Each structure stands twice: as structure tokens, then as C-alpha cells.
Structure 1
Amino acid sequence: MPNTRTIVKKVNGFFLLIGELSHFAKKFFVEMWKPPYEFKELLHQCYNVGNRSLPLVGITGFIIGLVLTLQTRPTLQEFGAVSWMPAMVGISIVREIGPVIIALTCAGRIASGIGAELGSMRVTEQIDAMEVSGTNPFKFLVVTRIMATTLMLPVLVIFGDVLALYGSFLIENMKGNVSFLLYFNQVFDALDFSDLLPAIIKTFFFGFAIGLVGCFKGYYCARGTVGVGAAANTAVVLASMLIFVLDFIAVLISDIFYEL
């Protein structure tokens, strides 16, 4: 059993981490509006974050649709409610499963990549060299990456949701001989604007959290190769935890609005 001193030390470390991360986020919002604006680097990072994540996100989304339909269909058959399958899968994927699982997948790829990249730059003193030469490394390295993840994650989630629904359709087509038009008509009939809007909005926050944590851990990486590995590892863990916390807050707010 850990003693009281160890528990207090861990609690203090947790709150210290929250404070440092909040200060880092504040610095991002301050630097984001200051010229010069690194549009070229932003586009480059959008390509790295978005285009290079498409295969992983596409495969993940497609398998989500296949597995969810295969696992749910036998249960609905027992109750004679197979006709509800497109509506149920559509609402589940668009509202919750698609955004969260794809965000977690991106956290594993993007947050670790950013943490390792900036960490290696810190260890090899490239960031220090940028500061000495008069360049603002925070503006060039951090702001562009956080903005890229914030902008690209909603696009990746929409792409993954579409492939997830298509994977679900394939199972329904093979098992129940459901046509493409009938399946997607039932999906879109079940979805409302109030389902789409909160799901899209929270993906911006997911992307911001992934970029913020990855940049924070990499930018303040400890010296040595061990520090780079620790930065990449802790970036994934912390980003995943933040995604769950943000998702809980988003669902809580959405539930309040539904009741109103």
C-alpha cells in the first residue's frame, strides 16, 4: 500500500501537470493571433495529420461497422427487430462510437508522432537553435500542429463514419439482402441535425486535445533518448484520457439540451 506521502506527491504532480498544460494552452491562444502566420507550415502539418492518417482511419471505421453489425444482428433477430438495424447502427456510429474510437486511434498515431518529433528536436537542441536565431519555435512548431489536428480530426471522423456505415451496409446486404438505397434511407431518416452537430463539434475539441498534449510533451521533453520515448508514451495516455473526459462533458451537455 502506498504511504500518505506518496499519494500526496502523486496528487500534487497531477495538479501541477494540469496547471502546466493550461498555461501551455493559454500560450497557444496568445501566439495563434500574432503575426507572422505560418500558412505553409500549417498546410504541411494538415497533410501529415490528415492525409497520412486516412488509411488507418478508413480501415478502423470499416471494421467498426462490420463488427458492430455482426455482433448486434443476432440479438435483434431474437426480438424480431432486424429492421431497426440501420437506424441503430447509424445513430450509434455517428453519435458516439465513430468519434471516440477514431479519436483514440488518431491519438495513438498523431500524439505519439508529434511527441516523438518535437522531443527529438528538443534533445538534439534544434529548438534551442531556432530560439537563438530569432525564430519563434513555439509559433512554427506548436501552433501549426495544434491547429492542424483541430482542423483535420473532424474530417477524419466524417471519413471514418462513412466507411463504418458502408461496412455495416455490406453485412446487412449479405445477411438480409438489404439494398443500398433502403439501408441509407433508414439511416438518414433516423438521424437528426441534433445528432450530427454535437458529434462534429466535439471532434474539434478531441483534435485540439491530441495536438495540445503531443506538443506539450514533446516541447518540454526531458534530455536523452529515454525522454523522447517517455514523451511519446505519455502523450498517448494523456490524450486518450482527455478524450474520454471531453466526451463525457459533451454527452452531459447534449443530454441537458435534449431535456430542454
Structure 2
Amino acid sequence: MPELPEMENYKQLLGPRVAGKVITGVDIQREKSLNVPAPLFIREVQGQSITRVERRAKHLLFHLSNAKVLLLHLMLGGWMFFGRREEKPDRTCQVTLSFGDLHLYFIGLRLGYLHLHDPHEVDLLLQKLGPEPLEPIFTFERFVQTMKPRRGNLKVTLVDQSILSGIGNCYSDEICFHAGLLPARSVNGLNAEELGTLYRSMREVLLEAIRYGGYMESPLYAGDELTGSFDCRCRVYDREGEPCVVCGTSIERHEISSKKSFSCPNCQH
């Protein structure tokens, strides 16, 4: 599932390509991916331009010139492709937005969605999300205030979107490895030094993942060599049985609170 780095990568690559462009056509193949009837969606979206693209947690927000907002959550299996019709991947698209000869394909929206909202509706829907880990105002002091009262383990706490927004299964494991902490560790058992290490690791891992286009290897457009480049840089996620890049110990997979988790039993404590 796309997490903060994947969606930030999409925002950075897609924003300049669609900002200011008029949506000349809308094709709906799966109405369940919407929150309003398809005719209403088309009427509100077609003919509008995208003024800007923003990210909040694992969502993208496409702001339209009529002040409406398209709220995207790709969920499991969802991705996007931007390009000409002949460049389109051989996959079923649930929604397509056209910009003349260029098209933005929303693929794999079986669990995900592209919803149409007024700005205040979006604010209400997203207000339950926790702080953004990379925002400058999310200082170490705020991080401690956020984490210290928690009674769960690191894995569950890091992926809880009401506590911190944007981190999921992949980056929770990568952050814990970078910090040398086992994902099963109790959050309220961490001392001040461990919390400091965790905070720095969180920022370093997420920023590195953004720099390398996240771990999902589906290119956004023809010739896109950035998207997915972090996949080969994952140290533990989905690497069960492979040698640790630091010590050579086999990476282990465990179920922690019903969530799969990967870690090095030697480097993490």
C-alpha cells in the first residue's frame, strides 16, 4: 500500500504535470470508486482545471478551479499512470481524467477511492489524522508528547494514522531497523535516548525514501526512472531470510498485533 513517501513522490512528480491543465474528459468504469453518482462527478469535474496537488498522510488532494477537491486514497493495490493512450499499462482503470491527449489513469481502485468534496468536508474527514512526521512544527518535543502516553508496541503505534500520519507497514519496519529497536518494543518503555534515536530515524528514513521515489515500482509515466527506486534500498521490509545488510544475520518475519513485521534479531533490541 502506498505510504507517505510514495504519495509525496506522486505529488512532486504529478503536480507540475497537471497544475493549470483543464480536465477535458472523465471516464468512469467503476462507480463504487466514487462517493457521488457518476453523472454528478463528471458534471462537477469535467471542464475544471487542477489548481494544485497536495498530500495529507496517504492521501492526495486535487484542488479544482471550482473550489471542489478530489480526495484520493489508493489503498492496497492502487496506483496511477500519466501519459498518452498508447503508453497506458495493460491494466483495468477504474477512473480516467483526460487533459487533451494526456490522461491520468487511476488503476487498481478496488479498495481505494477518488471522492469529490467541498473543502470543509475534506477538513472534517482528515481532522482525525495525527501530525505529519516531516512537518517543521513536529519537533522532537511534540514527538515525545505524542508517543509517551502510548501503551502499545512500536509497530502498532507507528502505523496508527490517528497518532502519526502517513507511516505504514514498510516504513514502520524500516524506521525501527534504522533506530535499532524491535517493532514489538513497548512505546512507554523507551527511554529518552531511544526516543531521540527513533525520531531521527523516522525523519531520515522517510526523507531518504522520498528522495528515491518510494518502494512501489510502478512508474508514474513513460521514462520515469525515479518511482520505486527505494525498493532495493529497503533493509528489512519483505526481506525474510535474507542476510542483514549490517551484520549478516537472517531477517525474520513476525506477526505483531496481526501485522506482518520484519526485523534483524541481532541489530534490533
Interval of TM-score (by shorter of Structure 1 and Structure 2): under 0.3
Identify the structure with the greater helix proportion.
1
Greater RCO structure (CA 8 Å; 6+ sep): 1
* TM-score between both structures, scaled by the size of structure 1: 0.26
Say which one has the larger Rg. 1
Larger strand proportion of the pair = 2
Q: TM-score, normalised by structure 2?
A: 0.25
